[in-house]
Chains A and B, each alone.
Chain A
Amino acid sequence: MLTAILVFTLLALVLGALLGYAGQAFRVEGDPLADKIDALLPQTQCGQCGYPGCRPYAEAIAEGRADINRCPPGGEATIKALADLLGVEPKPLDAEVGEEKPKRVAWIDEQLCIGCTLCIQACPVDAIVGAPKLMHTVIVEECTGCELCVAPCPVDCIHMVPLKIELDHWRWPNPEQRREIAEGASSVHVPSKPLEQHV
């Protein structure tokens, strides 16, 4: 009995010491807070916040160098999530950095593209494919809508277009908002043909 207690106490001590050592020796480098903040940012990598990408902005917030309301693509939802994470009050988007806009993607007018590759160099996520002197195309699935490719284009052939809603990605409207719309107007759906005939 006594031996058992002794053995286990010893074991506990040795293992505890080992764990303690391991904790010191294999400590993960990096900033866990910045990681958490980075995970909430939209990863558009547009730089509108004034930092060269989402990660640097996340680090700046973690170090208290930047406010939480500087990411236009993330908008209100991101500000709220950041406020929740950091335990501070949400605030409106800083007007200085721009405004929240609906999601768009880049589209290259292939008739005009001269294949200069400037847009490829500007795109932070390699969403543009093409070779020198050949026309370029945007991979819609990869494009984050950061608009960084628009300015460098010497022939202005890149346009930001609204993202087409796929049937599978369609969302039911929020009943709260629908009620606001419906007030005053009739919310009744009428089939097209009878509409012409009878109304």
Chain B
Amino acid sequence: MSERILHRFPGGLHPAQHKAESNGTPIRQARLQGLLVLPLKQHIGNPAQPVVAVGERVRRHQLLGRADGFVSAPIHAPTSGTIVAIEERPVAHPSGLSAPCIVLEPDGLDEAMQAFDPWPDFRAIAPILLRERVREAGVVGLGGAVFPSAVKLAGRPGIPIHTVVLNGAECEPYITCDDRLMRERAGEVLCGGQILMHMVGASKCLVGVEDNKPEAIAALHAAASELDDPRIEIVAIPTVYPSGAEKQLIYVLTGERISREMRATERGFLGHNVATAAAVYRAVVLGEPLTRRIVTLTGSGMQHKGNWEVPLGMLACDLIAQAGGYTPDVARLILGGPMMGFALCSDEVPLTKAANCLLALAAHDVPVDPLPLPCIRCGRCAESCPVELQPQQLLWDAKAGDFERAEKQDSLFECIECGICAVVCPSHIPLVQYFRYAKTEIWQREREKNKAAQAKERFEARNARLEREKREREEMLASRRAQLAAQKAEGETASAAVDEKQKAIQAALERVKARKAALQASAEDTPSTTTVAEAKEYDND
């Protein structure tokens, strides 16, 4: 295999890795414990619509909520049991708010049903059916973005996909769930890659893995030689955060720069996380919906670190308790990694398709947030930004409330919230927090604007309706009045007709009288021609 020339994206960071703490032990299966709380929304898009009722008994892999619309995903039962509630429960979100969830009480039997036909010979199946399968199995991006995979697979009409990029970079510190997956189930990952290639008609599959995971790379190579598929290429890439961001990874692997306005699919690349590829494999070859995922437990605040495969809906506190609990000096629990994750307000929240890591930090590891100093315009944030934004300018926009400029001129929405700018800032300015704030603020204003427009429309429609009703009432009254008048007038019409006749007679009489007088006059004046001539002249005037 010829050496692939790798590329280096601008900016980036080399944070402390902390990977060895959790990647040394095999993936363990979490025991079912307590209730499973399944949020209807574990993906980008519309929440699923429940198709089960409270009190209903369900089996493993049974559909609990169907996808609502194109950008949505269904959810399935991770085990057998009874639906005990469909209600709002606290979910893993920076706000600590609640969201609608289906609550399942496991019965311990774990009785399964075959959700779909297994298709071991996926090459014989039409791509469109495979795509439908991926959709029905509830597969979403498991790298943390949770975008419905089938939507991405639908691609852009008229733009063929030439390369499938499997993302095994796992660039964020502490997280090792993809590392363990690639070591232990490399075959599933690569077969998922083959299915994806078949689905979109791609001729190449690049698997990008950071070179800090030699065991995973070796396992992938072994699996690839077993498959003997020349289209698959395993590529070890340098360890630089955030090489796992989609556009950055594609650039590293191919040198293709995808401009800010474009999506990868528009340039013929289909990027999927390695765990997503494995889920695609299970959905197609085994006919299993997505009901489990691998979660890393790690950090100085966690007694035992490692990776667990958990049923979706399991509460974080139950998993942590099962794994040995916290250390006495735990101070903060983060969902995700230290760079892009967020602190949880409570650990009594369910683990969803998005939950890749629970990071518990002991007090001495919690970064102290020193009071930010003013920006000194040193430019370090701009040098390190992998998207080549101007964070100091965006900061200025956000502080001044100039969201329009932030969005239109300074490309706020290109920011991938990698958090590097905030890490390198010598003034300790929490830049990325300003950008998150500005983004949600812009969305809120958009909503308010829409609502105002809607209210205005309804107000005007109502006024027009009131106006019309008033006019109609007036018209009705007017016609009623006219009718009454007509009725009254009817009696008088007869006498009026008589009058008319008399008038006509009168007029006729007068005309006759006038003619007689004229005749008399002409009889007297006939000899005088001058008069006639004069009269004629007068007539002509």
By a beta-carbon cutoff of 8 Å, the part of chain A in contact with chain B is 38, 41-45, 53-55, 124-127, 142, 144, 165, 167, 169-176, 178-179, 182, 187-194, 198
B441, A171: Cβ atoms closer than 8 Å? yes
Check B462 against A190 for contact (C-beta < 8 Å). Answer: no
* Chain A residue, CB-CB nearest to B100: A167
The 18 sampled A-B contact pairs (Cβ below 8 Å) are A42-B448, A43-B453, A55-B456, A142-B454, A144-B455, A165-B95, A167-B93, A167-B99, A169-B444, A171-B443, A172-B436, A188-B331, A191-B332, A191-B344, A192-B347, A193-B348, A194-B301, A198-B329
Q: Interface digits, B446-457 against A, CB 8 Å rule (1 contact, 0 not)?
A: 011001111110
Interface of A (DSSP majority class): loop
Interface status of B345 (Cβ within 8 A of chain A): yes
B478: interface (CB < 8 Å): no
CA distance A127 to B461 in the complex (A): 12
Interface stretch among B218-226, B364-372, B377-385, B516-524?
B364-372
Q: A124-B462, A173-B437 are in contact. Are A198 and B453 (CB under 8 A)?
A: no
Number of B positions contacting A (CB below 8 A): 51
What number of A-B contacts does a CB cutoff of 8 Å give? 109
Complex: how many Å from CA A187 to CA B372?
A: 14
Minimum CB–CB distance from A147 to chain B (whole Å) comes to 14
Q: Verify B455–A43 contact, CB threshold 8 A.
A: yes
| Complex Cα spacing A44 to B453, Å | 10
**Which residues of the partner chain B approach A178 to less than 8 Å between Cβ atoms?**
433
Residue of B97, B317, B366, B444 with most chain A CB atoms under a 10 A cut-off: B97
- How far apart are the CA atoms of A124 and B399 in the complex, in Å? 37
| Distance A170 CA – B443 CA, assembled complex (angstroms) | 10
Chain B residues, Cβ within 8 Å of A190: 330-333
B120 within 8 A of A: no
Determine if A175 and B97 form an interchain contact, defined as CB atoms under 8 angstroms apart.
no
By Cβ-Cβ distance, the 6 closest A-B pairs, closest first, are A189-B343, A171-B440, A43-B452, A125-B458, A191-B333, A43-B455
Q: Does residue B241 face the partner (Cβ distance < 8 Å to A)?
A: no
Q: Are B347 and A53 in contact (CB under 8 A)?
A: no
Beyond A167-B95, A188-B332, A189-B344, whether A175 also contacts B434 by CB under 8 A is yes
- In the complex, are the beta carbons of B346 and A192 less than 8 A apart? yes
Asked whether A170 lies within 8 Å of B455 as measured between CB atoms, the reply is no
Q: Kindly state the separation between the CA atoms of A44 and B459 in the bound complex, as whole angstroms.
A: 9
Please measure, in the bound complex, the distance between the C-alpha atom of A192 and the C-alpha atom of B97, giving whole angstroms: 15
Give the nearest-CB partner of A124 in chain B. Answer: B459
In the complex, the chain B residue whose C-beta lies closest to that of A40 is B452
Distance (Å) between the CB of A76 and the closest chain B CB?
11
Q: Mark B315-348, 1 if CB is under 8 A from A, else 0.
A: 0010000000010111111000000000111111
Q: Determine the chain A residues whose CB is within 8 A of the CB of B360 once the complex forms.
A: 191
Nearest Cβ on chain B to A46's Cβ, whole angstroms = 11
Whether A192 lies near B447 (C-beta < 8 A) is: no
- Min CB distance B331 to A, Å, is 6
Give the chain A neighbours of B301 by CB distance below 8 A: 194
Distance to closest chain B CB from A58 (angstroms): 11
Which of A38, A127, A171, A194 makes the CB contact (< 8 A) with B444? A171
CB-contacts of B148-175 with A (<8 A): none
Q: Which residue of B lies closest to A123 (CB)?
A: B462
Contact between chains at A174 and B437 (CB < 8 Å)? yes
Determine the distance from Cα of A17 to Cα of B224 in the docked complex, in whole angstroms: 75
Query: What is the bound-complex CA distance between A188 and B439, given in angstroms?
Result: 24
Q: Which residues of B (451-499) have their CB < 8 Å from a CB of A?
A: 451-456, 458-459, 461-462
A170, B97: Cβ atoms closer than 8 Å: yes
Q: Is the CB of A43 within 8 A of B456?
A: yes
Q: Residue on A with the closest CB to B317?
A: A193
- Chain B's closest residue to A176 (CB) is B399
* Nearest chain A residue, comparing its CB with the CB of B440: A171
Q: Which residues of A contact B95 (CB under 8 A)?
A: 165, 167, 170
Which A-chain residue is minimally distant from B90 (CB atoms)? A192
Which residues on the A side are within 8 Å of B332 (C-beta)? 188-191
Pairwise interchain contact A191-B347, C-beta atoms closer than 8 A: yes
**Beta-carbon contact of B330 and A188 below 8 Å:** no
- In this complex, the member of A41, A173, A193 whose beta carbon has the largest number of chain B beta carbons within 10 angstroms is A193
